[in-house]
Amino acid sequence: MCLAIPAKVISVEPGGLAMIEIEGVRHKASVELVPEAEVGSYVIVHAGFAISVLDQEEAQGTLKLFQEMAEMAAETPHVGDIG
Amino acid sequence: MKFISEFREGALGSGLVRRIERLSRPIRIMEVCGGHTHVICRYGIRDLLPPDIQLIHGPGCPVCVIPQHEIEKAIELSTRPGILLCCFGDVMRVPTRRGTLFSLARGRGSVKMVYSPLEAIEMAAALPDKEIVFFAIGFETTAPSTALALKRASSQGLANFKVLSTHFIIPPALRVLVKDSSSRIGAFIAPGHVTTIIGPDAYCFLADEYNRPVVVTGFEPLDLLQAIMLILQQAAEGKPRVENQYTRAVRVQGNRRALEAMDEVFEIRPAIWRGLGLIPGTGLGIAPAFAPWDAEKAWDLSQVEPAPEPPGCLCGDVLKGVSQPKDCSLFAVSCTPDSPVGPCMVSPEGACAAHYRYRGA
Ligand code: SF4
């Protein structure tokens, strides 16, 4: 139940329902808990309810951090590498 | 941005692993959530880490921590005339003294698998002559969906819909674990999706009172590697705190709507966790205002007695991080996903099932 993966919002219908797509398969889900969800948003869905809308900018920021850390690791020599 | 492939980039992973090697120190890190356990096993993350860093599995597998007799209560209800029990698929395969919910679904047809409590609500509206009972399980991630279903039942006046609640809440259980000297937990990888609901501040006591680093973490392999690195950094600085690695999904304030719905519908009560025992303040019972939809009020289930653990099963210790699945003599011998002995072999989020599935990986 906690293996929820990002789902794309395809359409939002009246009554707090949305059509979402996960790995090419469409499902119905409630967006009552995330009123900010719109068509094109990625959401995390648990038990038929979207519980969070994924933030593009934050995701880019995390990826950039990964990149920086990888670069930093490549630059600084490992203690064990010296001598 | 699809939020998946970008977070599985191998080259970035090796950079993170090199940072982790540099910061390495002896530490036991508990990943609380079974979703993380699954990802750790699937991507062989332990094999990437220096031997000083031990990852230990926690209790965050909803199906694993439900005591056997709570499932037997659901089974008991499903054998009563006129009741159709709806539940998630995972819990249907947990063995109990009275068989499994799955065997009842096949036999009497009085159990039905659903993906969402809303399906149970729709069934209640379509089948007014039946009592539809939703067996509600899970942590703060699924409790809001049950809360909204109950609110819908109330606003639609659906008298034939009931909820049997075994929802748990996580933070007080972590206090029990951090104080348990047999678990020896040095830091926590906090559950990303639970935290989308409750917000990262819910774990401040672990850093402030117990000096343990806590990192709220996403579910891709790079997320986990970064979390381990952040924990090591905190340990090196000697300044334990709660950090949010999963900023793309977790907001500081959590999900206000979900918290409000839970507040309205549930009341906090003590709960028995498999492996951990009775923990005050970790169960969600149904509040008096929603009593007409409470299965425990509608039917007397007091005759269902607590059950002993299956002989030989170490699930209790596995859920506390004291034992690893391979320490259990039944693991992969008489206990496999096709014929599970304990709940940790049932759910894909269970540590035994994850270790079994990816044992050669
Ligand atoms: S391998 Fe099976 S019997 Fe052993 S602890 Fe895991 S679930 Fe229980």
List, for residues B253-302, the tens digit of each pLDDT value.
999 999 999 999 999 999 999 988 999 999 999 999 999 999 999 999 99
Residues in chain B: 361
What percent of chain A has a predicted confidence (pLDDT) above 90?
45
Chain B partners within 8 Å of A32 (Cβ): 148, 257
Q: Can you tell me whether residue B134 is helix, strand or coil?
A: strand
Residue A1 has pLDDT above 50, yes or no: no
C-alpha A31/C-alpha A71 separation (Å) is: 39
Which residues form the pocket of ligand 1, taking CB atoms under 6 Å from any ligand atom? Answer: B 313-315, 318, 325, 328, 330-331, 335, 341-342, 344-345, 352
User: Does A2 contact B141 at a Cβ distance shorter than 8 Å?
Assistant: yes
User: Does A73 contact B15 at a Cβ distance shorter than 8 Å?
Assistant: yes
At B319 the pLDDT is: 92
Contact of A82 with chain B, judged by CB distance below 8 Å, is answered with no
| Mean pLDDT of chain A, nearest integer | 81
C-alpha B92/C-alpha B61 separation (Å) is: 14
C-alpha B206/C-alpha B175 separation (Å) is: 7
Q: Read out DSSP for B111-125?
A: EEE-SSHHHHHHHHH
User: Does B257 contact A46 at a Cβ distance shorter than 8 Å?
Assistant: no
Chain B partners within 8 Å of A18 (Cβ): none
Residue nearest to atom 7 of ligand 1 (CA): B342
HEC profile for B21-77?
HHHCCCEEEEEEEHHHHHHHHHCCHHHHCCCCEEEEEEEECHHHHCCHHHHHHHHHH
For the stretch B14-41, what's the b/e string if a residue is b when 16 or more beta carbons lie within 10 angstroms of its beta carbon?
Answer: ebbbbbbbbbbeebebbbbbbbbbbbbb
pTM: 0.92
Contact of B8 with chain A, judged by CB distance below 8 Å, is answered with no
Pairing verdict, β B131-138 and B161-168: parallel
Chain A partners within 8 Å of B33 (Cβ): 2
Chain A partners within 8 Å of B194 (Cβ): 2
**In B108-220, where does DSSP find H-type helix?**
117-126, 143-156, 171-179, 192-198, 204-208
List, for residues A44-63, the tens digit of each pLDDT value.
999 899 999 999 888 888 88
Residues in chain B with pLDDT < 70?
1, 3, 10, 360-361
Rg of chain A over CA atoms, in angstroms?
Answer: 19
Q: Could you report the predicted ipTM of this complex, rounded to two decimals? A: 0.88
Sign of the alpha-carbon dihedral angle for B314, B40, B70, B109 = negative
At A52 the pLDDT is: 95
Q: Which CATH class is domain B1-308?
A: alpha beta
Q: Can you tell me whether residue B11 is helix, strand or coil?
A: helix
C-alpha B229/C-alpha B336 separation (Å) is: 34
At A4 the pLDDT is: 67
Residue A2 has pLDDT above 50, yes or no: no
State the best of B166, B245, B248 to mutate against chain A, taking most chain A CBs within 10 Å. B248
Q: How many CB atoms lie within 10 A of CB B178?
A: 19
At A59 the pLDDT is: 84
Domain ranges across chain B:
1-308, 315-357
User: Does B12 contact A66 at a Cβ distance shorter than 8 Å?
Assistant: yes
Residue A79 has pLDDT above 50, yes or no: no
HEC profile for A18-62?
EEEEECCEEEEEECCCCCCCCCCCEEEEECCEEEEECCHHHHHHH
Counting ligand 1 atoms within 8 A of each CB, the residue from B328, B329, B346 with the most, and so the one to mutate, is: B328
Q: What's the pLDDT band for A81 if we cut at 50, 70, 90?
A: very low
At B268 the pLDDT is: 98
At B63 the pLDDT is: 92
Contact of B249 with chain A, judged by CB distance below 8 Å, is answered with yes
Q: Which residues pair with A46 in a beta bridge?
A: A49
| Chain-centre distance for alpha carbon A10 | 15
Residues 6+ apart with CB under 8 A from B138: A1, A46, A47, B62, B88, B167, B168
Q: What's the pLDDT band for A75 if we cut at 50, 70, 90?
A: low
Pairing verdict, β B214-217 and B242-244: parallel
At A74 the pLDDT is: 64
Q: Could you say which residues from 17 to 36 on chain A have a Cβ atom under 8 Å away from some Cβ of chain B?
A: 27, 29-30, 32-35
C-alpha of residue B318 to centroid of ligand 1, in Å: 8
**Residue B227 contacts residue B189 (beta carbons within 8 Å):** yes
Residues 6+ apart with CB under 8 A from B125: B156, B158
